[in-house]
Amino acid sequence: MARRKRLTPPRPDLLEVETPPVTAGPLSAPPIAQVAAEAASTAALQALSDEMTRAREAGRFIEALPLETVDASYLVRDRLGVSGEEQEALVASLKARGQQTPIEVVALGEGRYGLIAGWRRLMALRQLFEETGDARFAKVEARVTRPGETAEAYRAMVEENEIRVGLSHYERARIAVKAVEEGVYPHDRAALDSLYSSASRAKKSKIRSFVSLVRHLDGTLRYPTAIGERLGLSLVKRLSEHRDFSAHVIQVLKRENPTDSEAEQTALKQSLLAKTETKKRPESRLKTEEQRQGAIAVHWSAKSKEIRLSGVGVDAELAKELKAWIESRPCRS
């Protein structure tokens, strides 16, 4: 019988030791990856900030501004008045549906804004807030633009009103006159060319004609927006022919004391029909060289595009007559 081989027990130090399972923790990114991620986040935030700034400056950013922060007198308004019926309809619409179209303002600094377009909406909201005290009407939605040239602001106001409402020729002419008086433009022609650059030559010519009416009778007329094209041009023609016709019109209006637009237009027509005692503007200085008898010399520079007058006949009265004659001419586009 064969002998069994005796097995030697394994050595304890060679026995396999069970190790506890390893719990996986969050993997940490390499340092270079962390730096790249932070840089990308910073760049994205900066890009978003720049885009918001550009949107705000371009008028694509709408903000809710407290009513008292908006200066409605920032620009001389082109609209001289709004009919009660129109304003009541706007107030009713805002009360029922809220503000649907933002106004346009320019940031003046220190939380103040100058109104460019949307005068009627701003006035309607102020009326509603005063009447109701409702917080819904305490703020106005506005497109805020960067401070720019005043001329740009006037153009923006005129463009919006040309699109939204039909302004009278008198209102169009008046805003050009006021822009010149404010120093925005050097003279009437520059104002008309800028404010009504897209207008036809005929339309611009009519507006220019009404400029004379504004300069002579603004502040005297109570209902100037009701003056039609035909009556207005007749008045302008008479103003160019008679140096004292404006004084005659003022006397007629004072005597008649019109209380509505129809009565005022009747008075204006009477002033045209009445025989005035004014003297016709002398034309001798603006006619032929023989009539001037060499008293005035005219110097023209093609290079600088300037006309210079000299001589014993050049005085303040001639300058006034010449200015009136130039203003009465049709506007060239």
* pLDDT tens digit sequence for 205-242: 888 999 989 989 988 898 888 898 899 999 999 988 88
Q: Tell me, what's the pLDDT at 263?
A: 92
Backbone angles phi, psi at 160, to 5 degrees: -65, -45
Higher pLDDT residue, 214 or 76? 214
Token digits of residue 239: 């103003």
126 band by pLDDT with thresholds 50, 70 and 90:
very high
Q: Tell me, what's the pLDDT at 201?
A: 85
CATH topology of domain 50-149: 3.90.1530
Q: What is the mean pLDDT of residues 244-272?
A: 90
pTM above 0.85, yes or no: no
Q: Could you give the CA distance from residue 204 to residue 187 in angstroms, rounded to a whole number?
A: 15
For residue 119, the number of C-alpha atoms closer than 13 Å in the C-beta half-sphere is: 19
Statement: residue 116 has pLDDT above 70: yes
Q: Tell me, what's the pLDDT at 316?
A: 75
Q: Could you give the CA distance from residue 70 to residue 135 in angstroms, rounded to a whole number?
A: 17
267 band by pLDDT with thresholds 50, 70 and 90:
very high
In the chain, where the domains are located? 50-149
